Amino acid sequence: MAEQLGWDEVERAAREVFHVWTDSSCELDWAHHAWSHLARAGLASYREDSEHERCQVAARFISLCDLYCDFVYTAWQERQVVDYGEVADELEVGLDPVLELARRSAEWEEPTHSDAGDVLVAALKFLSDQERDAVVTALLDWFEGSDGLFNGLWRSHPGYHYETFDEAMKDPTTDKMAAYEWVREQRCESLRGAREAYA
């Protein structure tokens, strides 16, 4: 039987990540709508008896969180860091199924001399990156291309919530254009290393 990781199950975790600005209502609104679309695209569904599939869905939510943090880092130089352990607790995913899922990939390199918490975080980061392409593809479909996705992310800032794409492009600042190119040319590639280097 198919289950779905709904917004009600991820909202508490979302409130911690999508909270760069004092007024985070625009951020949460974007996250809610983005996750709802991913759900409609089938990316939030899993078989009731498959803990691995549920962990994969959780990794997609974490990938959405990472994508948002990458955008605000590029567009506004804000360094928002995902607390992967806390998100795992909120989504009720444990080390064993997460690690088993990561080990299915030949690209996974298991940390050595690390405690269970560090291994869980490393596995979640790895799975988040593995799911990034699927998440980006679904978002580009929802926003009808890179211009729409950029504008949707740009409008998550309370000061720019009502700007259209054309209005936003009238003032092509260096950071804004870097964020636009990150969406259009780099296809929202992970910037976690740069974000965390100065966190």
- Per-residue pLDDT at 175: 95
Which residues does residue 46 pair with via DSSP β-bridges, in sequence order? 3
- Residue 44 makes CB contacts below 8 A (sequence gap 6+) with 4, 5, 6, 35, 38, 57, 60, 61
Give the model's pLDDT for residue 102: 97
Q: Show Cβ contacts of residue 154 under 8 Å, excluding neighbours closer than 6 positions.
A: 75, 160, 163, 168, 176, 179
* pLDDT for the residue numbered 199: 57
Kindly give the confidence (pLDDT) of every residue in the chain, 199 residues in length, as a single tens digit, with 9 standing for 90 and above. 789 999 999 999 999 999 999 998 999 999 999 999 999 999 999 999 899 999 999 999 999 999 999 999 999 999 998 999 999 999 999 999 999 999 999 999 999 888 999 999 999 999 999 999 999 999 999 999 999 999 999 999 999 999 999 999 999 999 999 999 999 999 999 999 888 886 5
Write down the pLDDT at residue 198: 64
Angstrom distance (rounded) from CA 56 to CA 45: 10
pLDDT value of residue 133: 98
By the 10 Å C-beta count (0-12 exposed, 13-18 middle, 19+ buried), 52 is classed as middle
Please state at what angle helix 146-154 crosses helix 51-76, rounded to 10 degrees. Answer: 80
pLDDT at 113: 81
The answer for residues whose C-beta is within 8 angstroms of residue 113's C-beta and 6 or more apart is: none
**In the prediction, which pLDDT does 83 show?**
96
Q: Where are the beta strands (DSSP E) in the chain?
A: 2-4, 45-47
Q: What is the pLDDT of residue 197?
A: 80
119 Cβ contact list (under 8 Å, min separation 6): 95, 99, 110, 111
